Structure 1
Amino acid sequence: MKAFDVIIIGFGKGGKTLAAEFAKRGQKVAVIERSDKMYGGTCINIGCIPTKTLVHQAKIASGMVGVTFEEKSEFYRNAIAVKDFVTGILRNKNYHNLADHPNVTVYTGMGSFLSADTVAVRTATEEIVLTSKQIIINTGAETVIPSIEGVVDNPFVYTSTSIMELTALPRHLVIVGGGYIGLEFASMYASFGSQVTVLESYPELIAREDRDIAASVKETLEKKGIVFKMNAKVQSVNHTSEKAMVAFTDSQTDEAFELEADAVLLATGRRPNTKELHLEAAGVEVDARGAIIVDEYLKTTNPRIRAVGDVKGGLQFTYISLDDYRIIREDLFGKAERKTSDRDPVSYSVFIDPPLARIGLNEEEARKQNLDIIVKKLPVMAIPRAKTLGETDGLLKAVIDKNTGKILGCMLFAPDSSEVINIVALAMKAGQDYTFLRDFIFTHPSMSEALNDLFS
């Protein structure tokens, strides 16, 4: 049995940053990662970095006019190679940032609890037992595989992870699920040159967004040639030697349909990755969704064990994992002034084309709370910078408290919205009212100056 000051299960953003923090303070750290393809975590290997690399490449592809599908396929193949190069460099850097530190030992294998302070690591060749009085769980989330006939071991069925290894551009891609992940891949593959069909089981797209924002998203994506089938209940995904056959029914009319596809992407959500941790042995409890229960300082039901990142549920973003690191750092080595309740509201972006970014309450949520509000809207076509970019689809929207002038929320479906939303977030965090952005001096022409008009 090998003793450490800290054991961290999972090499993701929160875990690796904590490992470096503990190590620089002279503590002996064990980091357990089940796959040598996941050093650095989800973001670097199968999440933000590879998808946004491909989103950028797809943006370039969308400007290719008068080319054949074969030429588009060759561009896509090269884009996958670029993605692999970028992720490979970052994975290697992340591994050596920890593995080369004298206070850190990296174990590549599956970690699971034997007791509250003991973890077994099953590597390719042996089982190693580690012990520590302080353990941090950072195992992330995994794709939910729906119970649809024919999806298991189907060579034409992919997850958001495996489809990024596909080097042949599918002529027809069917996406099961019209949530944020599904829309991001739909936009990307349509830009590369695939015909994309999205099968969404609900009658409305992205139900958590206001209907005018969702309608603008749907209309813009349809202009790219993406076909949406709402109320689509997928029955089976069978296949021949060359194609997948997707059978679905309209849940409103019971009418049956079948689609041929070169590839089928399952975009039906993600869930916390806890099934092989044997949490019961450590006294760590999960909620009804399978997420590890934590308090405001990220302590689990066993206070010596903490959980960071996607495994604890909630918003699944790299920057949340990084803030989890800050909370633990300040709790252990600072004044314990940071906690999970301090960071709301948090902005997010969906990297469709153009991106959809949001922070705080939307109009529907504010009205459900019976708040007295002012709603501001601005079409993207009214923004000078959008005209210079030749990208005039989209809508900007803000929700303001009528009595205080405080910004309650903002939704930006526009070019560069993933950057501009951070300006709104700063204003909200600083406690400024809407006039701060209304009267702020922005550069011209820029997308950020649209905030002057949105909040006017």
Structure 2
Amino acid sequence: MSNPEQYDFVALGGGEAAKLLAWDLASNHGKKCAVIEHGPIAGACPTVACMPTKTLIHSAQLAHLARQVPASAPGTARADIKTDMAKVFTRKQDVVDGMADLFLGIFAETKAELIRGHGELVGPKTISCNGRLLTGETVLINTGSKALVDTSIPGLANAKPLTHVELLNIKTLPTHLIILGGGYVGIEFAQAYVRFGARVTVIERNAQVLKKEDSDVISALTKILAREGVEFLTSTSVTKVSGTSGDEVVLTLSGPGGPSEIIRGSHLLVSAGRTPNTSGIGLAEAGIQLSPAGHVAVDEQLRTSVPGVFAAGDCAGSPYFTHIGWDDHRVILASLTGSPREGGTANRQVPSTLFTSPELAHVGLREEEAKARGIPYRLTKAPMAAFLRSRALGETEGFAKALVEADGDKVLGFTALGPGAGELLPAVQLVMKLGLSYKELVDLIIVHPTMCEGLVDLFRSVPPRTG
């Protein structure tokens, strides 16, 4: 094997942080950069996760709306509209291909090198790939995560279940899609596929789906999804699987209905968690330590146990969101350019949005979490109908709520279940980030009728301090 090629920056894995760091360091700092990626050119989010999923969800929303259009008589829904999944796939693939072309263009423009192939660390800062040896002054591990298939469930692996990757690529509509796991992925796909016309059942071992969310939020959301046709089996575990996904699968369940309930479906989607991609890439050979959960162990600046080697994104145990990967890149870039962010990743905001209809958006402290931790708060809550834009959209189900300090005016947390709820987050986030009073939101002049306008009434209703 040849002598190592010298680079200023080499990334093993082409996730969000890797691409952004390589592009920035190459174009703005004149660094010689390379990104090694054996999977999708653009990384997971644009090709097998966020973007294609949201594209599919949009197609499902259009199908749902089309069925609400009167056929021959006023108020008559059109049940005759069918979904052409081949065209849904084609539209999804067009978006994915466009993202790949976009990123290839940025690699060419910035002159950061994209190396296609499997990379493996053979030393602390040296990577082998395609017969080449690359060494970097700075090395980043950004290999992401993959769907977890619980091999302890008899027959599950042999049933060849789908993960989100395979489900995005099927061109026929399942007659009955069974989803193992009621997390973000499972719930978004559940609504999308029931809107396409499939029967959908979600099996969740916990007492509720989205187990970290407040129970009042999940109660409202699941009622909406159940009315659309999504079936929920909570406090239920799978004890055995037989058959093959895509043909017929038979699941034996243990839950409230008894220890041997049987459910049959045409397709099986596993969305019961993720595991970091940290095996088979030479971490031990490089002296890089792992956390007890199998992530690359990092400090608040995302530095590993080896000087000059960083890790970011899912494989480093950062919250599993693309926007957190974006922030990871900023933390590392600040260190590499001589101005480390104070505190690094500690105490940063972790906003989230579930892209169902209605959307579920959240940032900060949840109400049940505050109660469990004994944190006093003032609660303000408003029905989504008070957000006047929702009336114009005809989507008034849901609500918004916020937690404010009991003895101060800072916002501790915010949750909204409503149309476009994710778009409400930035205004609240900014107030929280700057440590401002919630009254700053009350005093804003917000365009009417927009969804954000409802924030004024929500925060105007904060109860007075008790002390």
- TM-score > 0.5, shorter chain as reference: yes
Distance 1:278 1:240 in 2: 34
- Aligned identity (percent) is 33
Check whether the contact 1:346–1:359 (CA below 8 A) recurs between aligned residues: yes
1:266 shift after superposition: 0.4
Distance 2:55 2:347 in 1: 28
Distance 1:210 1:30 in 2: 43
Distance 1:381 1:244 in 2: 43
Distance 2:154 2:253 in 1: 14
Greater shift in the superposed pair: 234-243 or 183-192: 234-243
1:250 is aligned to 254
Return the TM-score normalized by structure 1.
0.93
Can you list the C-alpha shifts for 1:268-297, whole angstroms capped at 9, x where unaligned?
111211111121111111111111111121
1:105 is aligned to 113
Q: 1:380 to 1:101 in 2, by over 3 A?
A: closer
Check whether the contact 1:14–1:138 (CA below 8 A) recurs between aligned residues: yes
Distance 1:357 1:215 in 2: 15
Large movers: runs of 4+ above 3 Å:
66-69, 99-102, 240-243, 251-255
Paired residues, what number? 446
2:286 is aligned to 282
Check whether the contact 2:63–2:83 (CA below 8 A) recurs between aligned residues: no
1:311 shift after superposition: 1.0
Unaligned runs of 5+ in 2: 68-76, 462-467
1:154 is aligned to 159
1:51-450 → structure 2 map (5 Å cutoff)? 51-65=53-67, 71-74=81-84, 76-99=85-108, 101-102=110-111, 104-121=112-129, 123=130, 127-147=131-151, 148-152=153-157, 154=159, 157-239=161-243, 243-252=247-256, 254-341=258-345, 344-450=348-454
Check whether the contact 1:171–1:195 (CA below 8 A) recurs between aligned residues: yes
1:7 is aligned to 10
Distance 1:208 1:240 in 2: 32
Can you list the C-alpha shifts for 1:181-207, whole angstroms capped at 9, x where unaligned?
111111111222221110111122222
- Root-mean-square deviation (CA, aligned residues, Å) is 1.9
Can you list the C-alpha shifts for 1:379-407, whole angstroms capped at 9, x where unaligned?
21333211111112212111111111111
Distance 1:387 1:77 in 2: 35
Amino acid at match of 1:116: P
Distance 1:449 1:165 in 2: 39
Can you list the C-alpha shifts for 1:242-272, whole angstroms capped at 9, x where unaligned?
7322323234564322222121110111121
Check whether the contact 1:39–1:92 (CA below 8 A) recurs between aligned residues: no
Amino acid at match of 2:57: V
Q: 1:409 to 1:23 in 2, by over 3 A?
A: same
1:39 is aligned to 41
Return the TM-score normalized by structure 2.
0.91
Check whether the contact 2:245–2:267 (CA below 8 A) recurs between aligned residues: no
Q: SS at 1:352's partner residue? A: coil
Q: SS at 1:357's partner residue? A: strand
Can you list the C-alpha shifts for 1:302-335, whole angstroms capped at 9, x where unaligned?
1210011111113111111111111122212142
Q: 1:321 to 1:391 in 2, by over 3 A?
A: same
Distance 1:101 1:208 in 2: 41
2:70 is aligned to none
2:26 is aligned to 23
Amino acid at match of 1:72: K
Distance 2:104 2:201 in 1: 38
Distance 1:320 1:249 in 2: 36
Distance 1:382 1:245 in 2: 45
